[in-house]
Amino acid sequence: MKDKTLRRPASLWRWGGAVLPPLALICLFELLHSNQEIMSAWVFGGMAPLEQFLGRLTGIVPFSVGEALLIFFLIFCLVWILRALIWLVRSRRLSHFLRRICALGAVFLWIWAGVCWLWNAAYYVPSFAQRAGLETEPYSVETLAAVTEFFAQNAARLSTQVARNDQGHFAEDREACFDRGVEIYENLTSEFPCLSMKSVEAKPLLCSKLQSLLGFTGIYSPITGEANVNVDAPLCLLPATIAHEMSHQCMVALEDEANFVGIAACITSDDPVFQYSGYLMGLIHLCNALYPVAPERWYEIAGQYFTPELSTDWDDNNSYWAQRSSQVEETASELYDTFLKGNDQELGIRSYGACVDLLVTYFS
């Protein structure tokens, strides 16, 4: 009896030590996230330097540490739950099973606390547009068409300056794109000092095919400071995707702004491969905005500027994602949409299209 009475307080202390700290961190975040001044002090004074340090540290190895940790954690969760179920069947003691499930829940609390303080906080600081002084205003359809034409003209011009295979498909060296990616922010940073950072090379994802099934072209890992890129998607947009994911290392959290920053970094760089990819990605966003409101203008621009090379890359991208459209992708999009709206991003996943406003503002 004495032994049992001693274990119970010790068990309570262990549970308290496992659950109370992450709960306190989560509650503190919910209490403070509406205070932009406090969030800014943390994000730019603590979170950003920490993640940039982690990015340089994990940059020592060629693979994505964040992806490796995620795979390990998923395997750990599966084994943990299976062992709990086996114990339940053998011993028929529900209390032990519940303790193991609660222990796993405590781990998830720690992870969510980390996500809140190492990434979600960036949603509650002044946006990139505010920090850079880019004020978007209403614009006419003709202005949208003019910027779309500008992107189409430059994409067409550069489409013949990149390497292609015998079938005319984009064939630049993938590894070279990752190597050169660390330099593409130099010109844009001089214009927008708020993007200043020590560049860390992006990394290819091992599970890129799974990313495509989920409908994602990359993912930023705040716990390791890594910009991770889907390398199974069409190669022609790989440079622009690298730039997009690297923008998150500059604390550009909003997806619409990350799209704009990535495109602008490519276009203003001195690398024609990145320039072409940036113009192509920007053209896709602009055409998606122009076609519903002025389809005849879109056909006019496409007929005038779409070279055979540009058309090939355009078709490659469309066919790739059309083949992978599924309920799995829709579910993943809905979950991510919920995540964005849970962090006060009212547009949710539709905010990817809002980068058009910044493109029109900046390039008109």
**Residue-wise DSSP of 211-239:** HHHHT-SEEEETTTTEEEE-SSS-GGGHH
Q: What is the pLDDT of residue 353?
A: 56
For residues 117 and 135, membership in a common domain is answered with: no
Per-residue pLDDT reduced to its tens digit, 235-245: 999 999 999 99
For residues 269 and 335, membership in a common domain is answered with: yes
**Cα 34 to Cα 344: distance, rounded to the nearest angstrom:** 10
Tally of domains in the chain: 2
For residues 284 and 140, membership in a common domain is answered with: yes
For residues 311 and 279, membership in a common domain is answered with: yes
* CB contact at 8 A, 230 and 216: yes
Q: What is the pLDDT of residue 136?
A: 84
Instruction: Indicate the residue type of 99.
Output: R
Q: What is the pLDDT of residue 345?
A: 46
* Region for residue 288 given its phi and psi (left: phi exceeds 0; alpha: psi -120 to 50; beta: otherwise): alpha
For residues 141 and 76, membership in a common domain is answered with: no
Q: What's the domain range around 306?
A: 129-363
* CB contact at 8 A, 180 and 199: no
Give the end of a domain, one of 124, 156, 174: 124
User: Got the DSSP string for 110-135?
Assistant: HHHHHHHHHTGGGGGS--HHHHHT--
For residues 115 and 144, membership in a common domain is answered with: no
Give the end of a domain, one of 97, 124, 151: 124
Give the end of a domain, one of 95, 124, 153: 124
Low-confidence ranges of the chain (pLDDT < 70): 1-17, 325-353
For residues 142 and 282, membership in a common domain is answered with: yes
Q: What is the pLDDT of residue 57?
A: 95
Q: CB within 8 A of 359, min separation 6: which ones?
A: 147, 151, 260, 263, 282, 285, 286
For residues 235 and 337, membership in a common domain is answered with: yes
**Cα 297 to Cα 11: distance, rounded to the nearest angstrom:** 70
Instruction: Indicate the residue type of 79.
Output: V
For residues 134 and 99, membership in a common domain is answered with: no
Dihedral, CA of residue 326, residue 330, residue 335 and residue 337, to nearest 10: 150
Per-residue pLDDT reduced to its tens digit, 10-45: 565 566 667 889 999 999 999 999 999 999 999 999
For residues 238 and 148, membership in a common domain is answered with: yes
Instruction: Indicate the residue type of 257.
Output: E
Distances (CA, A) of 218 to 23, 76, 258, 273, 316: 30, 24, 12, 19, 18
For residues 162 and 50, membership in a common domain is answered with: no
* CB contact at 8 A, 202 and 177: no
Tokens, residue 304: 């005038």
For residues 135 and 101, membership in a common domain is answered with: no
Q: What is the pLDDT of residue 252?
A: 95
